[in-house]
Amino acid sequence: MTPASPETHLIESDLADAALERLLVTAGVSEIHRPPGSDWTVSGNAAPQAIDAANAIRHAIHGIYSAQDDVTEALITSQDHLIALRALTQVNLSTLGMSEALHDLLDQARLLTASDLVVMVDDRLVHTTGGPPSDSDELTEVIREATTSTDDLEPRLVGQGKAVIAPLNDQSGGIRALAFVRTNGPVYTTGDLRLVKAAVAAADMRFTLTRLHLLEIKRATFEREHQVASSLAQAVFSQPAPTLAGVEVFAHTEPASLAGGDFFAFAVVGDVLWFTVGDVAGKGLPAAMVMTRAVSAARVAFLTHDADDPAGAMRAMGIELYDYLEDVGLFITVALGAYRPSTGALHVCNAGHSPVMLVLGGITTLIPASMPPLGVLPEPRGRTVRFDLRPNDALVLGSDGLAEQENAHGVMLGYDRLAELCVELPQESAERLGHHILDAVKKHADGTPPSDDRTLVILRAVEGVS
């Protein structure tokens, strides 16, 4: 009997073994001994070289089968990795609840990298999936490492190879790193680090896409609010300027890129022209909603107060609007007054508004505020000032978007220049003067976009009252 080679465990193969048996019988073997999983031995007159050759062939076949099994296992593992990676890239952070979405993403990253635990560390919180809680002693060092600032974005091994810290490329959303931990399994290998990189790249992509998606939603919401605010503003300004013998009225507003809170309103009550111009300290939809309420309150005040009591009308507006303004955290600067062309009597109350300019005899005078802006005090009190207008005298009310318009060098038009513009056309109509002022502001801007609304209202006394 020929002794076997050093014992090894060989894979049985019926087809290959049958072929080798025929060869050995042809070579003179009378009996073949086949111990499971090891080399054959024989009885008979066969040369020792024949049985050695047969066993060598069996070893080669065994190696082929083992390699085939290894390839199959690698393909299965690779397929599992692809499935896990695809699942990771398809986690939609924008449609799931944030807690659920983060758990799903981290869980897919854990499966992909065969980790026991994945930790995501951001500026405020630590999110984990699998394994012990994030405040356990065994994770303290990992989390500390994950929060350490570094310019190197390559994954780094910590904890004697049992953990990997992988900083994210896009940290604009506040998320700094992912940490992969194996509490019981083998240390991370070079191949594992490649999987970690793939997981981090996929997570980076999902976080970036989600951030862009949320920005797009915010932009769309912003645009929708702008559209609603513009619609509200158009509703406020839909009525044309009133006509009343003895006075010319010019009214114009030009919203900036973001709808602001400038407003004006008029009412003719008997032989008196009531007017108001205001500016809500805010922009967008909240300012537009305040603006509509302010206009409504002003119109009620016009109808319930005497022409010589704009201060009383302003006080009524302030009381009506105070609670709402306090809730939304805004205030309003307002100029309100009444003009009776038959007598030339102009009564005005100013609640922190600017500019309010009176042009008398070719000289411009500022009308100062006599009470704080509405929304500052629950029951504001101020005083009414009276002026007597003659033909060609005018009251000019604007918004700060006129005087504070900057040019390309950052220089504002200024209130002094605005006052000069008010007297440059003493014999012209209110409309002509209004366009003259607006054109000068536009020329000064020289293409610089307005940072605030431009609103201008002019009341000009003219002949025409018997």
Q: Residues 358, 361, 363, 366: what is their CA dihedral angle, to the nearest 10 degrees?
A: -20
Q: Give Cα separations from 463 to 165, 343, 397, 466 (angstroms).
A: 84, 12, 21, 9
Residue type, 145: E
| CA-based nearest residue to 125, from 102, 152, 92 | 102
Q: Is the dihedral of CA 105, 108, 112, 118 positive or negative?
A: positive
Q: What are the residues whose beta carbons fall under 8 Å from the beta carbon of 403, sequence distance 6 or more? A: 354, 355, 412, 413, 414, 415, 417, 418
Whether residue 182 contacts residue 162, with contact meaning beta carbons closer than 8 Å, is answered with yes
E strand map for 4-50? 29-33, 41-44
Whether residue 282 contacts residue 291, with contact meaning beta carbons closer than 8 Å, is answered with no
| CA-based nearest residue to 294, from 338, 330, 346, 242 | 330
Tokens standing for residue 247 = 């006075």
**SS percent in the chain: helix, strand, coil, step 5:** 40, 25, 35
pLDDT of residue 464: 72
Q: Look at strands 156-158 and 163-167 and give their pairing.
A: antiparallel
| CA-based nearest residue to 412, from 402, 420, 399 | 402
Alpha carbon of residue 7 to chain centroid: 69
pLDDT of residue 133: 56
Using only the alpha carbons of the chain, give its radius of gyration: 43
Residue type, 338: A
Q: Is the peptide bond before 355 cis (omega within 30 degrees of 0)?
A: yes
Whether pTM exceeds 0.75: no
pLDDT of residue 20: 77
Low-confidence residues in the chain, pLDDT < 70: 1-14, 37, 46, 68-102, 122-151, 169-176, 206-211, 213-214, 222-223, 225-238, 257-260, 284, 465-466
pLDDT of residue 37: 66
Tokens standing for residue 234 = 């158009």
